[in-house]
Amino acid sequence: MTATTPSDPTVLPLEQKAQLLSGQDFWSTPPVEAAGLPSVVLTDGPHGVRRQVGDLDQIGLLESVPATCFPPAVAVGSSWDPDVAERIGAAIGVEARAIGVPVVLGPGVNIKRSPLCGRNFEYYSEDPLLAGVLGAAHVRGQQGAGVGASVKHFAANNQETQRMQVSADVDERTLREIYLPAFERVVTEAQPATVMCAYNKVNGVYASQHRWLLTEVLREEWGFTGAVVSDWGAVDDRVAALEAGLDLQMPGDHGAGNALVVDAVRSGRLDEAVVDRSVRRVAALAGYVGEPTDGFDADAHHALARELAAGCAVLLKNDGGALPLASGQRLAVVGEFARTPRFQGGGSSHVNATRVDDALTALQATRPVVFAPGFTLDGSGDAAELREEAVGLARDADVAVVFAGLAEGDESEGFDRTHIDLPAAQVELIRAVAAVSPRTVVVLSSGGVVSLEGWHDDVDAVLAGFLLGQAGGSALADLLTGAVDPSGRLAETIPLRLADTPSHLNFPGEQGHVRYGEGVMVGYRHFVTVDRPVRYPFGHGLSYTTVETSDLQVTTTGADSAEVAVTVTNTGSRAGRHVVQVYVATTAGPVRRPARELRAFRKVALAPGQSETVTFPLDRRAFAHWDVRESGWVVAPGEHTVQVGRSATDVVAEATVTLAGDEIVPELTLQSSVAEWFEHPVAGPQLLEGFLATMPEGAGEMHAGMLQMIGSMPMRRFAADFGAAIPAAELERLMAAAQAAR
């Protein structure tokens, strides 16, 4: 931390205060000697420090200082392990302090709405609970090491297409249940130093000047006390952004925005108190500035990266015990990715790795291996000749391991994919190798999910490595040889077809708008609710051991909460790590709910034969939905089923509890519908009694049918037509009674 004690920066001249709220260059804030404030450097993360070499006034495309490239978020998400996220955050904090960086930008917790998003490698999951738990752990680790974090990109940043202009048009329930909870958890549990606003608009308003997001939700509801920083170049209207709650504009714009702020204050359009508020928040970042440390242990961090990467890969398929590889097997390794690994994403988070392991070298250290590249990363060369060479080696081997995936040019920040297929040359290679090899294993490297169709059924095993960081090659070798048991679980669904994904018809939008038409039915929520088959579901992952689940007990702990206890037992012959996944299902309440939603999880290490009873408290949010009429979280009275699953589609135990929930007495106005009036718990019975008393004999039998026809009519119009039956004074009395009962 800093050794300086800044004085009150709000006493500075207005021009200097405005200057403090904008970068002095591409990566740092201006120092203000009069207030004892040093310059604060903010650099990219989140899976490694990207400190630019040389002039900080240059756009961030220059070479960066060597740093450890840890597994990116796409891999960490598949770990389902907050300890992995926290240890990465802590190590990044150590390296940032050594390099002289007080704030590292990350983690990213945006939801994977579509598998096509070009930046999915930088996000954790399609589920907000998983993303939020991992993001909070990363922030705790990084800030525990004395380096500020910046949770991003707030909010509804789920595509790269027109990312600086597009309006994400999304209803409030969907925002509250899907796109905001990960941010909420990080803010309320880990208190990040900064929150970074997104480029895009949300319902027509730029995120950088969205007062509801930046002030009402982030600060007033969640209690955020840090600084809101813009994504680089995200500010459209500097004064409007400041008023909305954005504190620091990055990068600097050569003083143009500062002049607008000064002019707005002097003309009376902007209260100087707004400037002072942001000045205090930005000045607080100086608390993370300190003298650089003596460096970091690059070898130890590389070993850490290897250890953590091994816990992130997902064993999707393992027919006939094809893995782990047995000693003495003749092994053919095929695929350029085996010797030229794809280990991180492209764009602003690209880390200059201290060293890079490849799987081919790591496997060669354990046994004799023959190798053929099989394809080129840029599509050059004679594909048929390369394939033929690989097939020849595979034919003479006991096992062929094919390393396939996407090259960096196939996915990156700045653009979205248009499909999820592997390159055709790789598909042809896999099929050709599988046709001649006794056993075929495919290892996948990609920042987003890829289709397994066209070759999946031809191979014996599939290991999804995603992007595992600089030590991923050695980690993959550890998993293939059985030195480490695979324990990853899918953090996003692998569909059979892109057309099956819930956002398919609404991604990436058109004419400047993208409509989130699938609502809360994102990812597995959609697939399980409509019972649509997938290749592999959210939460799926195999191991070299077996685990059984037993003795599920669910006990209510209040009107809207419960406690879950479940026992898991390692019934296999080797140690392993199992992810206990707890889902909640209900049809109670006035809104359509997903068939089940993840509400708790824990990764448990088990020795052979070991049992462990795991407990989970489920608070009211685990059972609640966002009620747009009540503008709050509501637990519907009724039955709620707690399910323990191996994945979102494989439920192995369940128990149902009845919750008292929230008795909601709806507000009534003359704009409320006739049906809402007659069905109201307080006003309804009285209204019906009075109405029928004035109607001819037999009107009671007509009541139900009449409500069907006119139930949606506003009471104001209905009363105008049936004024004698429902006097205005009676309606006023009933509205008052309904309000009193709320």
Catalytic positions, written as ranges: 231
Pairing of strands 547-558, 513-515: unpaired
Number of other CB atoms surrounding residue 636 within 10 Å: 22
Cis peptide before 153 (omega within 30 of 0): yes
- Tokens linked to 299: 């070898």
Indicate the SS3 state at residue 267. Answer: coil
- CB distance 73 to 123 below 8 Å: yes
- CB distance 373 to 360 below 8 Å: no
Q: What amino acid is encoded at 470 in this protein?
A: Q
Q: What amino acid is encoded at 483 in this protein?
A: A
- From the list 334, 341, 361, the residue with the least C-alpha distance to 440 is 334
Tell me the Ramachandran region of residue 162: left when phi exceeds 0, alpha when psi lies from -120 to 50, beta otherwise: left
Q: How far is CA 356 from the centre of its chain?
A: 27
The DSSP 8-state label assigned to residue 153 in this structure reads E
Using CA of residue 238, residue 242, residue 244, residue 248, what is the dihedral sign? positive
- From the list 478, 482, 419, 485, the residue with the least C-alpha distance to 449 is 419
Distance CA 262, CA 250 (A): 18
Determine whether 610 is exposed, middle or buried from the number of CB atoms within 10 Å of its CB (0-12, 13-18, 19+): middle
- CB distance 665 to 630 below 8 Å: no
Task: Tally the residues of the chain.
Answer: 742
- From the list 367, 366, 285, the residue with the least C-alpha distance to 105 is 285
- CB distance 642 to 617 below 8 Å: no
Which residues on neighbouring strands pair with residue 549, listed in sequence order? Answer: 568
- CB distance 495 to 535 below 8 Å: yes
Distance CA 83, CA 81 (A): 5
Q: What amino acid is encoded at 725 in this protein?
A: A
Tell me the Ramachandran region of residue 651: left when phi exceeds 0, alpha when psi lies from -120 to 50, beta otherwise: beta
**DSSP H/E element including 361:** helix 359-364
